[in-house]
Copies of this chain bind each other. A is one copy, B any other.
Amino acid sequence: MATAPSPLPPSAADADGAAPVASPAAAALRAIGARVTPARVRVLTLLREAPTPMSHHDVETALGPDAGDRVTLYRVLDWLAEAGLATRGVDATRVTRYAAARDGKHQNHLHFHCDDCGQVYCLDTPPPPPPELPAGFQLQRAELDLHGQCDRCNSGKA
């Protein structure tokens, strides 16, 4: 089996189980001339599908056994942010959260924080216009955080 037997064009999967067909995440990586590694693809794919920004812990839990090494995950997340493929943010509890950076998914909408279950919901409602600021202040972003009870937590009570 040393010599390549098949002159087949790049189409279906090999006799093996793994199908290296290009995922959107992998494409995004190649697009910036970066190495395509399983860890990066898995994490970026997850972030792209995630409805809300994810912490290191979130990602580790979501990936389960495929999460790989803790430190590698930190480095991948950090790298993604550095490479511009994800955005980094520190929340009120000092936890860093990451979100896929493509065309501002979490850029222009509101977040609702459920105080009961802690879930964060992305709302379609556009944010209000940013107000005037004192001289010398430079506005980077405005975030309207709504706090209360979500529908799920709200229905299970008196």
Q: Which residues of A contact B (CB under 8 A)?
A: 90-92, 94, 96, 110, 112, 115, 121, 123, 125, 128-152, 154-155
Contacts and interface: CB of A to CB of B under 8 A. Distances in A.
A137 B151 contact: yes
Contact of A148 (B112, B140, B145, B155): B140
Contact of A150 (B94, B128, B136, B149): B136
| Copies of this chain per assembly | 2
Contacts of A151: 134-137
Contacts of A132: 125
Contacts of A141: 146-148
Given A130-B146, A136-B155, A137-B148, 7 more contacts: A112-B137, A135-B151, A136-B151, A137-B154, A141-B146, A142-B146, A143-B147
A137 B122 CA distance: 12
Contacts of A112: 133, 137
Enumerate the 6 nearest inter-chain pairs by beta-carbon distance, A residue then B residue, closest first.
Answer: A136-B151, A140-B148, A128-B128, A125-B131, A139-B148, A138-B149
A143 to B, nearest CB: 5
A134 B123 contact: yes
